[in-house]
Structure 1
Amino acid sequence: MNRLAVLGGPPAVPREQRDVEWPVIDDEDRKAVLAALDGGRLVSNADGETPVSALERRWSERFGFAHTIAVSNGTAALSLALSALGVGPGDEVIVPALSFIATGLAPVHQMAVPVFADIDPVTFNLDPDDVERRITPRTRAILPVHLHGAPADVDRLGDIARRHGLALVEDAAQAPGALHRGRPVGGIGEFGAFSLQVTKNIPTCGEGGLLVTADDALAETARKGRQFGEVIEPGRDRDYISYRLGWNHKINGLQAAFASSQLARFDGYEQARQENITRFLARLDGLPGLTVPTALPGTVHVWHILRFRFDPAAAGLDGIAPGRFRTVLRRLLRAEGVPVSQYQLVPLPEQMVFRDREGFGKGYPWTVLGGDAPEPGDHPVTRAVIEDSLTIQKRHLNPAAGPLLQHYADAFEKVWANLDTVARLAAAAR
């Protein structure tokens, strides 16, 4: 039973039990979409409550936000937030060096320069000390990400923002339902941006996003920006006047109806996820050289992605580089039926779009700053995390994934029972 699958042994995860999908789509979702299709209120300026306004209301009620603005995707939500705050050419926005590309692109969409700060090695979120070192007179906002569903240190980041007169915009794309000292993430800064993309903890049937704020004026500005700068209100005739720069960032009614249906089941799903994932991580926590994702005191982690770090020296495998250890573990765990993968292959500042600074042509927005455009700098923690970690995505979000996760735990334990083989494979692959 302990013979590794890659060497001909039976896999720890039975093949017939691997097909656990996300999202879960049931008859209530289908009914919701059909009801929206038949309801006739498929545009934003229809009279009465529309599927879009219903989603906004329900999201605000569930999480306690004053204003929710539904948009086409999470990237649009970030860009609208920065636009509503007046971020533009000549400004800088501090973002983490480890995140999805949208976090770094949002400032560029506003012709502002993203400045990349390093991350905390445990939460994988912005390191407040490095953020403060990178503030300049041009800094206008800090954009923390609640990466993988783990709340960032918004207490310290908020304090830094207040002392320097900066806005705090939360990228909560992966973190609906996460809490920081009892407060829902996304509702702590001036704006919070969520994604409803189909892989997220609360998905729609494709793409979608939400922008939240407690500020009445900022909400009004963001709503104008969502639709061509116009004022769109139920019962008010559309005047087709653009009162400010705007885009077409609307979500459609069918996507909104699907997301509302998923939102109605979120609490039950989240309770099951917390139980399933906590049991899974508890089994792995004692394996030498393996660091499991952690919910820090005073926070609720919603486990959108599970990231594991590997330390060959702590596992008793001296002389093996972390990257080589991770590469061999990936091969062995996948052979056992655990779909581990890397998430982000390079730090954000090394993405070609930022490295080459082509931007909008002729180097904009960086050329706006002339010779004062900041250099990317080094991000050693981000680099180390990318080098020594693997992730599990999607399947664990299914509330019925408890038995599957226990098989995953069997696979990890099996591989760790064969660390001598791991060492030989790592040595042979040099």
Structure 2
Amino acid sequence: MSGNGLAMFGGPRAVPKDRVTKDRVGWPVITDAERQAVVGVLDSGQFTSNNPGAGQVQLLEREWAALVGTAHCAAVSNGTTALELALTAAGVEPGTEILVPALSFIASAVAPVHRLVVPVFVDIDPVTYTMDPRAAAAAITPRTSAILAVHLHGLPCDMAELRELADRHGLLLIEDAAQAHAAEYRGRRTGALGDVAAFSLNVVKNLPTCGEGGLVTTDDPDLYARLLRHRQFGEDLEGRGKRDYISHELAGNAKLSAVQAAFTRCQLGRLEEYHQARDRNVRALLDRLGALPGLRVPHCPDDRTHAWHILRFRFRAEGMGIEGATPGAVRAAVERVMRAEGVPLQQYQPVPLPQQKALVSREGFGGYPWRLRPGDYGPGEEHPNTLAVIEDSLTLQRWHLNPAAGPVLQDCAAAFEKVWAHLDQVAALARAMSPAPSEAVR
């Protein structure tokens, strides 16, 4: 087949390879500012967060706290560590329970486990993909100590409902804002919506460093002081001109380097500009895709903004006019066809968190932290919305982060429209694939 036929059957790619260039879709965008900042740190000889005064780490902390709208920020080694230290500094006790959404990256569950806190998994809202407050309310027990609100894909959770729930039961409300830099909920930034918040600075995040890093924000001065001790072997360095090497708490080493901080400060200077460009580019894409039958595009409620870290698309067989194929087969068929057209759709989190092998087997922890609390706990509870979303959706990642990605995203829109003009062939492919549900729901 030629002409306007599907690429996997001989037609031309909708997204030509020569259009997908580093200057359009590469991430992060690195300029001379980053290069000069890194060299400046190397020339200064001040490499760690131990440097007093206005070192690069301290400057990043102040600038991020000011942007978020919190009193304090502590920079740490990575986003998972940021979650762990937030739990520790907030005093969450080993053996207690924390509510975690069933759809998230494994770090949302592993961070509590590393602190011997039991993750209890809660279903998501099928439209926002964030924790369903009603499911959270039903999961609270006398052992619950905290709620982990994951702003998945860059969309803030329903924080008013979760805040009311946390206050009613005396629970800590923690934000996992690893994917939601600069997003807002009812006029307030993520990172200032709970009791404490954790961000990732991983190189693929909306606010990246040149590798790994994390930030923790809070308004609580005592919690902040504990954060600083726990990133530095339990030592108290605040206000000291000389390190005394006395550890006041059992803690490890979780510092961010000055090189990483300097790189991120350059990125932070362009964060708002990139955020606005990304919002325009993504909305222009979604405006076109929203007209296609059976395709559910990402939704952003009116009371919040979206960081657009990941774009998730759901495929409804009935709306697409496809009969005789399972949702998983339709999703797999769309993935094959779209990738042939040059659009790198893929699954993100192929199983719910409670079905992750590590959490089912509990290898590496000898059954802890679950042994610390009475009663039976199994990670295989039903989470129907999470299962359905995983089964019938694919994601687009990273391409749209670059502020110059607009033309490529329009090519992607054309690819979707082309495929939707050949849904009969997509249907045939889906029916030919295994009728059994995918591994994600077995």
Q: Which TM class, normalised by the smaller chain length?
A: over 0.9
Runs of 4+ residues over 4 Å off in structure 1? none
- Shift of residue 247, structure 1, vs aligned partner: 1.5
The answer to whether the Cα contact below 8 Å between 2:88 and 2:115 also exists between their aligned partners in 1 is yes
Of 383, 405, 427 in structure 2, the residue corresponding to residue 401 of structure 1 is 405
Question: Is 1:126 aligned to 2:142, yes or no?
Answer: no
Q: How does 1:11-30 map to 2 (within 5 A)?
A: 11-19=13-21, 20-30=25-35
Correspondence 1:367 to 2:363: no
RMSD: 1.2
In structure 2, the residue matched to 1:89 is 94
TM-superposed CA distance for 1:63, in Å, is: 2.3
Match of 2:381 among 377, 380, 392: 377
Matches within 5 A, 1:57-72: 57-72=62-77
Rounded to whole Å, the distance in 1 between the matches of 2:93 and 2:377 is 15
| d(CA) in 2 for partners of 1:34, 1:116 | 45
Q: Report what 1:392 is aligned to.
A: 396
Structure 1: runs of 5 or more not aligned = none
3-state DSSP of counterpart to 1:143: strand
Give the alignment of 1:24-423 within 5 angstroms: 24-233=29-238, 236-361=241-366, 363-373=367-377, 376-423=380-427
CA contact (8 A) 1:358 1:364 kept: no
For 1:187 and 1:243, the matched residues in 2 are separated by 28
Deviation string, structure 1 residues 311-332 (Cα, Å, up to 9, x no partner) = 0111111222111111000001
Q: Please say if 1:427 is aligned against 2:431.
A: yes
Decide whether the 8 Å contact of 2:125 with 2:131 is kept in 1: yes
SS at match of 1:163: helix
Identity %: 55
Q: Which amino acid aligns with 1:171?
A: D
Q: Find 1:9's aligned residue among 1, 8, 11.
A: 11
Q: CA deviation at 1:183?
A: 0.7
Structure 2 vs 1, CA of residues 38 and 286 (structure 1 numbering), >3 Å: closer, same or farther?
A: same
TM-score normalised per structure 1: 0.98
Contact 2:149-2:176 at 8 Å conserved across structures: yes
Count, aligned residues: 429
Q: Matched residues in 2 for 1:134 and 1:122: separation?
A: 20
SS in 1 for 2:408: helix
How far off is 1:48 after superposition?
2.5
Alpha-carbon distance in 2 for matches of 1:30, 1:4: 43
Structure 2: how far apart are the matches of 1:47 and 1:214? 22
| TM-aligned CA deviation for residue 375 of structure 1 | 5.1
Question: What residue is the counterpart of 2:437 in the other structure?
Answer: none
Q: Matches of 2:319 and 2:83 in 1, distance apart? A: 40
Q: How many angstroms does 1:428 deviate by?
A: 2.1
Q: What are the ranges of 5 or more consecutive residues in structure 2 without an aligned counterpart?
A: 435-442
Displacement of 1:261 in angstroms is 0.6
| Distance across 2 between alignment mates of 1:356 and 1:390 | 27
Query: In 1, are the aligned partners of 2:351 and 2:390 still within 8 Å (CA)?
Result: yes
Alpha-carbon deviation of 1:241?
1.2
Shift of 1:244: 1.6
